[in-house]
Structure 1
Amino acid sequence: MSYIDGFVLAVPKANREAFRKLAEDAAVIFKKHGALSVVECWGDDVPDGEVTSFPMAVKCQPDEIVCFSWIVWPSRAVRDEGNKKVMEDPGMKMPDGGMPFDGKRMIYGGFTPIVGDPMSERG
């Protein structure tokens, strides 16, 4: 059974290209260490909520956009080992200016699919 890492974060609109480049480079490293796919999404229809919402969860500011990302791994064991290797990979060194978003407001977690398996739905 596959395993999914999910992420929600707020990125300053002015940092879109820096975020895209960082995400693109990181995707190569995650795949090198066992990830099957990496998807990074730039929000364009992410409404504010009254009780809770993606923007509220990451304390999104007016000059920021909510981004939603996920990584598909073949299993939790591959993910656990892969993440260790990713964190040790020299390619994961942050750019000179640091991350193009506030990592303290990023929400992330690991998930086991219970309906639909990305492994079996691949084309």
Structure 2
Amino acid sequence: MTYVVGFLTPVPTANKDRYIKSAQDAWPLFKRYGALQQVEAWGEQIEDGKTTDFKRAVKLEDGEQVVFSWLIWPDKATADAAWEKMQNDPAMADMDMPFDGKRMIWGGFQPVFES
């Protein structure tokens, strides 16, 4: 079964094109380290929740939108090895990150159902 690493990222709407380009530029690196798929989804219908929501999760500010994205890996071991290698890869250090990474949240998930 695959392994999923998911992200919520607050991105300034003025940086949407830069964000898309940075995601496209990142894909060859993720793929080289074993990722099977990358999905970047720009928020379109982000409702306010009563207790919590996507906006509060990333402390969304005026002029920003939430991006929900994920990487599919063959397994957790491949994902863990990739993150370790990417920490030392100069290509990663040179990437344009047009968002506040301190408010990005992420986590790894073991799928319990796939169809």
Instruction: Verify same fold: TM over 0.5.
Output: yes
**Residue 69 of structure 1 pairs with residue 80 of structure 2:** no
Query: In the TM superposition, what whole-angstrom CA distance separates every residue of 1:27-76 from its partner, at most 9, and x where no partner exists?
Result: 11011110001111111111122210001110111200000000000000
**Alpha-carbon deviations, 1:75-107, whole Å to 9, x = none?**
001111111122222211245xx6211111111
TM-score normalized with structure 1 length: 0.88
2:97 equivalent in structure 1: 99
The 5 A counterparts of 1:37-52 are 37-52=37-52
| Runs (5+) with no aligned partner, structure 1 | none
Q: What is the identity percentage for the equivalent residue pairs of Structure 1 and Structure 2?
A: 47
1:109 equivalenced with 2:111 (yes/no): no
Query: 1:86 matched to which residue of 2?
Result: 86
Q: Amino acid of the residue matched to residue 59 of structure 2?
A: K
Name the amino acid aligned to 2:60: C
What is the distance in 1 between the residues matched to 2:97 and 2:29? 16
Q: What SS does structure 1 have at the residue aligned with 2:39?
A: strand
CA distance in 1, matches of 2:40, 2:89: 20
For residues 37 and 51 of structure 1, do their structure 2 counterparts lie closer, same or farther at Cα, with a shift above 3 Å needed?
A: same
Figure out how many residues of one structure are paired with residues of the other and give that number: 115
Partner residue in 2 for 1:54: 54
2:49 and 2:29 mapped to 1: Cα distance?
35
TM-score, structure 2 normalization: 0.93
Equivalent residue for 2:4? 4
Structure 1 segments of 4+ aligned residues over 4 angstroms from their partners: none
